[in-house]
Amino acid sequence: MTAVIDYDAGNVKSVVKAFQALGEEAELTREPGKILSADRVVLPGVGNFGESMARLTSYGLEPVIREVIGREIPFLGICVGLQLLFEGSEESPDAAGLGVFRGRCVRFSDKPGMKIPQIGWNSLSFKGESRLYKGIEEGAFVYFVHSYYALPEEHITTASCSYADEACASVERGNVFATQFHPEKSGRIGLKLLENFISIR
């Protein structure tokens, strides 16, 4: 079973439906017991970094997430769910992230003709091997909605995209994975990525 963490972060039902479309049992939950007993865990997210982190804290989910990762249960962060794994963000300077990865999130540079947030399809440039991208071709297009992106301080980036800046699109370390883009909105490519995640033990 895949547990999708429910912390009022938006867009969670489409994540559940994407897993169900692959024949995977998926449940939206914030119950620690269900999360810790799941085969894999997903942290989705849409919205403000600080507000999202505050909701995780208010629901008592920070220690649960740390225990999931400590147990090496396959874990996938999506969009703000990726950003929350870092130490902080320019979006909410006073809010501390989970600090699973070293580094912070920064806003896209203001450049003529480049609208922020980036909304829509963009191609991936692979930065190394990733179990999530098995069977996915470099240059594949996926769907983004974001104004901020991570600047990792360790070698965990597995793909980038080019917009106003060259931005981190995904990271991986051990059994912790995260994508800045939305697999659940990325059609065939996104479903293949989720299928690869399901296969990870």
Q: Just list the catalytic residues.
A: 79, 182, 184
Which of the 8 DSSP states describes residue 183?
A: G
**Sole residue written with tokens 């994540």:** 15
DSSP letter string, 151-172? EESSS-EEEEEESSSEEEEEEE
Provide φ and ψ at 4, rounded to 5°: -100, 115
Closest to 85 in 3D by CA, of 110, 68, 107: 68
Strand partners, 171: 157, 178
DSSP letter string over 42-107?
EE---S-HHHHHHHHHHTT-HHHHHHHHHTT--EEEETHHHHTTSSEETTSTT-----SSSEEEEE
Measured in whole angstroms, how far is the alpha carbon of residue 19 from the centre of its chain?
A: 15
